[in-house]
Chains A and B, each alone.
Chain A
Amino acid sequence: MSDRSELISTGEPFAFDAERDAEFERLIVRYPIRESMIMPALWMAQEQQGWISAEAIEYIAERIGTYPAKVFELATFYTMYHLKPVGQNHICVCRTLSCWLRDKQAIVDYLAKEIGVRPGQVSEDGRFSLEEVECLGHCGTAPVVQVNGEFHEEMDLEKFKALLATLD
């Protein structure tokens, strides 16, 4: 999400669960240097926690044997890492060329007007967060929307409203 300047603490220690712990060990032997595991570890932390907390950064740094600043650096450079909690339904609307040509704006405008959430925001009830993102690689079925990682193609306003109705 938009503000990537600071880390938020949960006040609770962070550690990978058993499944991710095993995945970490499976992967680390694939790389000749341990720093190559920073990005995979950030993904695992985000999958486990939904976002990346200050404690997760500390944990990853310690586990890999590097500085927390190095992990933080990558977490800020790569925009898909969330440094604060997102909504229960994290909606990404592609804003680039082919989706723009096929009226992605109608979807963004609808979310602002009817749901009260604008790009970079989380709705007050925490149900929705919205991000306008760059090309999602589904240009032949534009416009495309991604909800919690799942792609929804050939969207128009009616289809998008129907999709929203199915979300928790």
Chain B
Amino acid sequence: MEVKILSAKFDIDNAHQIEVAKSHGAYQTLEKLFSMAPEDVTNEVKDSGLRGRGGAGFPAGVKWGFLPKDLDKPTYLAVNSDESEPATFKDRYILVKDPHLLIEGIIICCYAIDCHDAYIYIRGEYTSQVKGLQRAIDEAYEAGYLGETVNGHDFRLDVTVHRGAGAYVCGEETALLESIEGKKGQPRSKPPFPAVVGLYDCPTIINNVQTIASLPFIIQEGADAYKAHGTEKSTGTHLFGISGHVEKPGMYELPLGLPLMEVLEKVAGGVWKGRQLKGVIPGGSSTPVLTAEEAKTVNLDYESMAEHKTMFGSGGIVVLDETVDMVKLVENLIYFYHHESCGQCTPCREGLGWMLKIVKKIIAGEGTMADIDLLVELCDNIEMKTVCVLSAACTMPVRSYLNKFRDEFEAYVTDAAS
């Protein structure tokens, strides 16, 4: 089932070193790249159907097309390597095992959008990964792939690593820009969108690590070769991170569109300890949960997830076995989002705190049926009433647990009353 496009070099020893990476094809796209017109590069990416792999799934080439033309300002690229959505750990594999694939992708993107200063925003917790990435960038400078004349062409490109320091919200693209500018990571109101007013008030493209790392294949092999994998609207491959109660958790590169259950059983070894499946979180903690029954009919692509009223998200799949207490899981989730709220918008800052208090009260056996309804009401009063979607990233999944596993919340209330 696995298709190795992004992970082609993951099993090769020391592929993070430039000489090893080069002997396996790294930077070979560049000759072709510089023979193409920048707009042809963008068109090839548009044709490939590549969608943003950070979670939103917006077509990458279309995003690049939003940059204003003939503006007397520099264009910036910010590579989102914040990877903080719970259950998401895919980009780390690229950073550690094949950082030159990312750098090659950055060169391709920057050439297409006429950008000469790229920043990689990497989460602060990735301590050794930051160092490894910087080492790879230093190697690329020494080899002439970065700097004043990229690959011997009249094209300057500087790549700078900017290290975050523990704020989940900085994965939100405008918070990320604020953070690079030396401010608290508090999201901006949109519009204007970053493509028009972004980093340092200049046009800016923000792409996820995996999105950028998909570019070398698309340019080298062509859009059709990329589209040969996946479905009509969800093209290509994705690095799926499977975690939780499975026999073989881990990172697997798969074409989009495969049936979820087939992947769980054949790739991830099925539910651990011979237990029954209770539910699946399909794409990171902020995506609505699927029941075991719903999981039977869903495929791993953007459209099938939407049909099941959830989201593809980051491809971080969490398997929940029959023993999971969904009320306590919801407490764990709300705690996370409450902790990570940037504090800018009252509904998020205060509302998530109230939700946490109520769910704790229910768990303590002091809740009432009205408290369960109050949780739903709070979700309605918080969602879409804030600058960014952090609060919705909490309320959307919480509402799904309240809908699909309400009996477990009610059991806490009735058990306490009896």
> A residues touching B (Cβ–Cβ < 8 Å)?
27, 30-33, 35-40, 42-43, 70, 73-74, 77-81, 92, 95-98, 100-102, 133-142, 146, 149-151
Contact between B185 and A33, CB atoms less than 8 A apart: no
CB closest chain-A residue, reference B85: A135
Interface residues of B in 182-228 (CB under 8 A from A): 182-185, 200
Q: Could you say which of B117, B125, B185, B251 contacts A140, with CB atoms under 8 Å apart?
A: B251
Among candidates B87, B163, B329, residue contacting A135 with C-beta atoms closer than 8 Å: B87
- Sample (29) of A-B pairs whose CB atoms are under 8 Å apart: A27-B160, A74-B183, A78-B166, A79-B166, A80-B124, A95-B332, A96-B336, A97-B318, A98-B249, A101-B243, A101-B244, A101-B245, A101-B318, A101-B324, A133-B166, A134-B339, A135-B85, A135-B168, A135-B285, A136-B125, A137-B89, A137-B126, A139-B87, A139-B249, A140-B243, A141-B249, A142-B244, A146-B125, A149-B127
* Complex contact A150–B92 (CB within 8 A): no
State A80–B184 Cα separation when bound (angstroms).
Answer: 13
Given contacts A39-B165, A80-B166, 8 further A-B contacts (CB under 8 A): A30-B160, A39-B182, A77-B185, A78-B165, A133-B125, A135-B85, A138-B89, A142-B243
On whether the beta carbons of A37 and B249 are closer than 8 Å, the reply is: no
B163 nearest CB neighbor, chain A only: A43
CA distance A56 to B397 in the complex (A): 42
Chain A, residue nearest B159 (CB): A30
Smallest Cβ distance from A43 to chain B, in angstroms? Answer: 6
Encoded as 1 (CB less than 8 Å from any A CB) or 0, chain B from 136 to 171 comes to 000000000000000000000010101111111000
Instruction: Closest B residue to A100 by CB, please name it.
Output: B332
B181 cross-chain contacts in A, Cβ below 8 A = 33, 35-36
Q: State whether B86 touches A78 (Cβ < 8 A).
A: no
CB of B241 within 8 Å of the partner chain:
yes
Tell me if B242 is interfacial: C-beta within 8 Å of chain A.
yes
Contact between chains at A79 and B241 (CB < 8 Å): no
B392 to chain A, nearest CB (A): 18
Q: Which residue of A40, A74, A92, A95 is within 8 Å of B163 (Cβ)?
A: A40
Known: A35-B182, A135-B87. A149 touches B336 (CB 8 A): no
Neighbour of B243 across the interface among A39, A74, A133, A139, CB < 8 A:
A139
CB pair A98 B87 closer than 8 Å: yes
Q: How far is the CA of A140 from the CA of B316 in the complex (A)?
A: 9
A71 to B407, CA, bound (A): 49
Of all chain B residues, the one with the shortest Cβ separation from A138 is B89
B418 sits at the interface (CB 8 A)? no
Among candidates A39, A97, A101, A150, residue contacting B128 with C-beta atoms closer than 8 Å: A150
Provide the residues of chain A in CB contact with B128, threshold 8 Å.
149-151
Point out the residues of chain A lying under 8 angstroms from B320, CB to CB: 101
Q: Is the CB of B336 within 8 A of A134?
A: yes
Determine the chain A residues whose CB is within 8 A of the CB of B332 once the complex forms: 95-97, 100
The answer to whether A96 touches B167 (Cβ under 8 A) is no
Q: Which 7 A-B pairs have the closest CB atoms?
A: A35-B182, A78-B165, A149-B127, A80-B166, A139-B243, A79-B166, A98-B243
B86 adjacent to A33 (CB under 8 Å)? no
The residue among B181, B182, B184 with the most chain A CB atoms within 10 A of its own CB is B182
CB distance from B213 to the nearest CB of A (A): 16
Instruction: Find out whether the CB atom of A98 lies under 8 angstroms from the CB atom of B318.
Output: yes
Q: Is B179 an interface residue (CB 8 A)?
A: yes
B250 pairs with A140, CB closer than 8 A: yes
How many angstroms from the CA of A77 to the CA of B340 in the assembled complex?
Answer: 10
Q: In the complex, what residue of chain A is closest to B131 when comparing beta carbons?
A: A149
Q: How far is the CB of B352 from chain A (nearest CB, A)?
A: 14
A98 pairs with B86, CB closer than 8 A? yes
B-side contacts of A32, CB under 8 Å: 200
Would A97 and B182 count as touching, CB distance under 8 A? no
Write out the residue numbers on chain B whose beta carbons fall within 8 Å of the beta carbon of A101. Answer: 243-245, 318, 320, 324
A78–B167 touching, CB < 8 Å: yes
- A residues less than 8 Å from B358 (CB atoms): none
Write out the residue numbers on chain A whose beta carbons fall within 8 Å of the beta carbon of B166.
78-81, 133-134
Provide the residues of chain A in CB contact with B234, threshold 8 Å. none
Contact A43 B340 (CB under 8 A): no
Docked-complex contact B318 and A140, CB < 8 angstroms: no
The docked-state distance in angstroms from the alpha carbon of A27 to that of B117 is 13
A residues less than 8 Å from B250 (CB atoms)? 140-141
CB distance from A58 to the nearest CB of B (A): 17
CA distance A31 to B242 in the complex (A): 38
Partner of B336, one of A35, A80, A135, A151: A135
B88 on the A face (CB < 8 A): yes
Report how far A100 CA is from B245 CA in the complex, Å. 11
Q: How many angstroms from the CA of A142 to the CA of B87 in the assembled complex?
A: 10
B368 touches A (CB below 8 Å) = no
* Residues of B330-370 contacting chain A, CB below 8 A: 332-333, 335-336, 339-340, 342
